[in-house]
A and B are shown apart, each in its own frame.
Chain A
Amino acid sequence: MNRFLLPLSIFVVVVVFLGVGLTLNPREIPSPLVGKAAPEFSQPQLYDQEKIFSPADLKGKVWLLNFWASWCGGCKTEHPVLMNLAKSGEVSIYGMDYKDERDEALAWLQRWGNPYPVVGVDQAGRVGINYGVYGVPETYVIDKQGVIRYKQIGPLDPDTVEKKILPLVKQLESQ
């Protein structure tokens, strides 16, 4: 009996490690920006290119910053969730059109609906780099002081909105 105890325990340890490894998503890289001030930017707006979209304008508000693009498949999946969230009026979602063509972005919003009060344009992907974006869609929850409180990598789903985003927004609103 004792003879098998050691190999068996090693086996169990290896299985536990591999099992935990299987459940991890290698695409989810924890962002070092959570808890830090949201990087500043001044980007032209998608609809009115003369106007500037900057996080400084949103100080004192809890808001979401959603990086999306018309070429991005996950954004299409996520889109109805954003539309519902926008309709509920719980929190405003500001868009950042990431490395996209203007007319395609406009056509995309025309076709599927526009959940954003304002959309900024990040043609060169520089704002994306400052926010540590490595694959759209990505969504940031930013508090009244302009601090990033949460980062969603990949599409938002109704469950995440219900269980994470909305409670966090409520808590931040009350501060």
Chain B
Amino acid sequence: MIWLALLIVLLPWPAWAGEAKPLGEDPAVEARLKHLAIELRCLVCQNQTLADSNAPLAEDLRREVREMIVKNMSDKEITDFLVERYSDFVLYRPPVRATTVLLWVGPFVLLIVGVAALIITVRRRSQKLVDAPVTDEEHRRVEQLLAEGGKRS
């Protein structure tokens, strides 16, 4: 009986082992690949990084990047290789260029415009406030009304 149980426990393991994907040979290479791949955009599913995507092209590009890492190329050389072929679009952090200036500066311009508009509005509003002198009679009337309101509630 024990032997049968042991057999059942042990048998499925070889079958399961096949499902796990083999890890890359060198953990250092894989670490660099991951570090690079999260900065790179998959061209096919454009909102995914190269690390996340399962598209065949992403797999090929990961293979390509892995090979370049093994060849000891620097991060810049590797991203340059991809930019030469796929343009800045592969980078999740586009470089500052004439075409991307709006992208980089736009939010700050909007912020400045917003702050300026706020300051102007607040100033205008404070100019509109007029000093209205309150007489003693009015003051007494207000207190009376407030006291009445307090009773009612």
Q: Which residues of A contact B (CB under 8 A)?
A: 26-27, 29-33, 99, 124-126, 128-132, 134-135
Contact = CB atoms under 8 A, between A and B. Distances in A.
A131 B57 CA distance: 13
A125 B87 contact: no
Interface string B47-61: 000000000110011
A156 B108 CA distance: 42
A32 B56 contact: no
Nearest to B59: A125
A159 B61 CA distance: 33
The secondary-structure label for the interface of chain A is loop
B87 A29 contact: yes
B89 interface: yes
B57 A31 contact: no
Interface residues of B, number: 14
A134 B57 contact: yes
B87 A30 contact: yes
Given A134-B43, A135-B44, A32 B83 contact: yes
Contact of B85 (A27, A33, A99, A135): A33
Nearest to B47: A26
A134 B60 contact: no
A132 B60 contact: no
Contacts of A26: 46
Nearest to A99: B56
A134 B87 contact: no
A26 B44 CA distance: 11
B44 A134 contact: yes
Contacts of B84: 32-33
Nearest to A132: B85
B77 interface: no
B86 A125 contact: no
A166 B87 CA distance: 26
Q: Which of B43, B57, B84, B85 counts the most chain A CB atoms within 10 A?
A: B85
B56 A129 contact: no
A126 B67 CA distance: 12
A29 B99 CA distance: 14
Contacts of A132: 85-87
B143 to A, nearest CB: 38
Contacts of A30: 87
Given A129-B85, A135-B43, 15 more contacts: A27-B46, A29-B86, A29-B89, A30-B87, A33-B84, A33-B85, A125-B60, A126-B60, A126-B64, A128-B57, A129-B60, A132-B85, A132-B86, A134-B44, A135-B44
B124 to A, nearest CB: 13
Contacts of A33: 84-85
Contacts of A130: 85
